[in-house]
Amino acid sequence: MKYTVMIPAAGSGQRMGAGFNKLFLTLGEKPIFIHTLKVFEADPFCAGIILAVKNEEKQEIEAYLKQFDISKVQAIVEGGTERQYSVAACLEAYLEDGIVLVHDAARPFIRRAVIHSLVQEAAAHGAAITGVKAKDTMKLAPAGIVEETVNRDYLWIVQTPQAFQYEILKKASDKAIADHFLGTDESMLVERTGHPVRVVEGTYDNVKMTTQEDLAIGEILLKRVQQEENT
C-alpha cells in the first residue's frame, strides 16, 4: 500500500544545545535527517516525501538531498513556529487523497515493518499511531505526591510515525488551527474530532534525537542497523 510521508524538519533543537538545528548533527557520516529520509527513499511503498524546513536552511538542506541521492522529495514547504504548524504546511502541499504518514526528521531508526503495519491499519481504520509499552512502573503524582499507580498495560509511549487517511488528518488539523488548539502530536488533533485512533506496537529503538545522550545511543543503534544491512 502506497503512502506519502510528511517530515517536519523545521525545529531549532533547543534541548540538544548545539546552537543550530540538531538535524544537521551527524550520526556516522550523515546528518540525522538524511538517515531518516534514507529509510523512506529505500521503501518501495513510499510514493513521496514532503519536507517542512526553515527558509534560511532550505538551500543547505537541498544541497544535502543532492549529495545523498534523495530523490523522492516532492515538495519543500516553509515550516512554522510550532511543529503542528510545520505539519499543517505539509498537509497544504499534498494534493491527493491517500494515506499520509507524519514522521519526525529526528527519528532516524524507524523500521520499515512498523511503517507498513501502520499504513495498513490507517488504510483499514483511518488513523493509527505507533508506540511502545511502558517498561517502568508508572505513577500519577500531579503535585509530587503519588495519587495512583497506573495500570501499565494501558499505557503507551507514543512515537511517530503516525498514519492517517488524508482527509481525516487535514480536517483535524484545520479544526485545531481554527480553535487555537496546540497538540503535541497529530493523534491529539484527530482524537478531539472523535475519530478513533489505533495503536500499533513499534520498537524501542525508534528514539528521537532530542538531547546529547540520545546521540550516544544513536551511534550505537546506527552500528546495529549497519550490521543488519550487511548480513
Q: State how far the Cα of 109 lies from the Cα of 107, in Å rounded to an integer.
A: 6
Q: Does 15 bind ligand CTP (CB under 6 A)?
A: yes
- Minimum Å distance from CB 161 to Mg ion? 17
Question: Which residues contact Mg ion by CB under 5 A?
Answer: 11
The SS3 assignment for 38 reads helix
- Per DSSP, 18 falls in state S
* Residues between 52 and 91 that touch ligand CTP (CB under 6 A): 52, 79-83, 86
- Minimum Å distance from CB 117 to ligand CTP? 22
- Minimum Å distance from CB 55 to Mg ion? 18
Q: Which of ligand CTP, Mg ion, none is residue 46 near (CB under 5 to 8 Å by kind)?
A: none
- Minimum Å distance from CB 89 to ligand CTP? 9
* Number of residues near ligand CTP (by CB under 6 A): 22
Contacting residue, 76, 106, 119, 172, with ligand CTP by CB under 6 A: 106
By CB neighbour count within 10 A (0-12 exposed, 13-18 middle, 19+ buried), where does 158 fall?
A: middle
CA dihedral 85, 106, 96, 115 (to 10 degrees): -140
Among 229, 227, 223, smallest CA distance to 28 is for: 223
Task: Give Cα 220 to chain centroid, integer Å.
Answer: 21
What is the contact surface with ligand CTP in residues (CB under 6 A)?
A: 8-15, 22-23, 52, 79-83, 86, 104-106, 208, 210
